[in-house]
């Protein structure tokens, strides 16, 4: 009887420790991206034209997409509503990318990180995102982030089984960044304009000053390989969807 009571107490203590751990803020693992000049855009779609040179200062970007565990800690600490997991055929684990995220949810998370860690976290600009996805100054010119073969680096419509997968499950790109092609779309800081590239500043562009849509990059688990190209762009209203998540960035 005493052994049973002791075991029961240990189980309860373990559960409590797990709950406490879930509320502990975790600072994202960041990768420094050395600034440089790159050719942004492509000739494949109209909103990716024209190809133009962009100069960027150095910055840091998340090695992984923000995970369920990281976002859960934010929600637990602030009483911010945790999005529902509506994934067909299964549920999220703590190491899956946080999905069903609005643009403003991502901003709220970044603001909380800054309050907790006294940092300067934000969403990446669209130019920073593409530069990092291409591999920065280590780029080998791949179609997808880290390879010309999407199956090596990303979860998309044909290999995802209709759901997200744990972050870091595929090969990283040249900078050691994971899942920049596929898994979940990633919100960028910029407003979206399909014609923006023809008037974009050549140095550290921040996107249009306003607009009805925000930029999403990288494609997602239910989309085609073409959507996961490093140059692909998508603009959307601010609403939640099971294929939308984000990663954080910060200036150097």
pLDDT surpassing 60 at residue 19: no
Q: Rounded CA gap, 183 and 99, in Å?
A: 9
Please name the residues in contact with 178: beta carbons below 8 A apart, sequence gap of 6 or more.
63, 64, 65, 167, 168, 169, 170, 172
Q: Rounded CA gap, 135 and 139, in Å?
A: 4
Q: Report the Cα–Cα distance between both ends of the chain, in Å, rounded.
A: 60
pLDDT tens sequence across 102-128: 999 999 999 999 999 999 999 999 999
- Determine the average pLDDT of the residues in 28-57: 98
- Please say whether the beta carbons of 214 and 235 come within 8 A: yes
pLDDT of residue 23: 60
pLDDT-derived band at 89, boundaries 50, 70, 90:
low
> Token pair for residue 2?
């005493």
> Token pair for residue 196?
């923006």
CATH match for 2-251 among 3.90.1580.10, 1.10.10.1100, 3.40.50.280, 3.40.50.1220: 3.90.1580.10
pLDDT of residue 21: 43
> Token pair for residue 96?
């899956």
Number of CB atoms found within 10 A of residue 194's CB: 14
Peptide bond into 50 cis (omega under 30): yes
Question: Residue 92: what are its φ and ψ, rounded to 5°?
Answer: -70, 155
- Determine the average pLDDT of the residues in 28-52: 98
- Determine the average pLDDT of the residues in 61-67: 98
Q: What mean pLDDT is reported for the chain?
A: 92
Peptide bond into 245 cis (omega under 30): no
Question: Residue 197: what are its φ and ψ, rounded to 5°?
Answer: -60, -30
According to DSSP H, which parts of 36-102 are helical? Answer: 68-78
Q: Rounded CA gap, 175 and 197, in Å?
A: 25
pLDDT of residue 86: 85
- Determine the average pLDDT of the residues in 189-201: 97
pLDDT surpassing 50 at residue 55: yes
pLDDT of residue 3: 54
pLDDT-derived band at 237, boundaries 50, 70, 90:
very high
């Amino acid at each position: 009887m005493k052994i049973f009571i002791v075991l029961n107490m240990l189980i309860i203590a373990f559960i409590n420790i797990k709950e406490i751990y879930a509320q502990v803020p975790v600072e994202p693992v960041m990768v420094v991206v050395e600034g440089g000049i790159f050719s942004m855009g492509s000739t494949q779609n109209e909103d990716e034209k024209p190809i133009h040179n962009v100069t960027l200062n150095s910055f840091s970007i998340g090695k992984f997409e923000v995970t369920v565990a990281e976002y859960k800690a934010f929600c637990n600490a602030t009483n911010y509503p945790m999005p529902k997991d509506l994934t067909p055929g299964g549920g999220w684990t703590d190491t899956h990318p946080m999905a069903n995220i609005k643009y403003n949810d991502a901003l709220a998370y970044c603001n909380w990180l800054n309050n907790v860690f006294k940092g300067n976290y934000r969403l990446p600009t669209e130019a920073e995102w593409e530069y990092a996805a291409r591999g920065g100054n280590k780029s080998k010119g791949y179609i997808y982030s880290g390879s010309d073969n999407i199956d090596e680096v990303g979860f998309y419509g044909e290999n995802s089984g209709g759901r997200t997968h744990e972050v870091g499950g595929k090969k990283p790109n040249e900078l050691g960044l994971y899942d920049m092609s596929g898994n979940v779309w990633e919100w960028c800081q910029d407003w979206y304009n399909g014609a923006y590239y023809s008037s974009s500043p050549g140095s550290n562009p921040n996107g249009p000053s306003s607009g009805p849509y925000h930029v999403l990059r990288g494609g997602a688990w239910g989309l085609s390989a073409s959507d996961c190209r490093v140059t692909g762009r998508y603009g959307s209203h601010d609403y939640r969807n099971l294929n939308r998540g984000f990663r954080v960035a910060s200036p150097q």
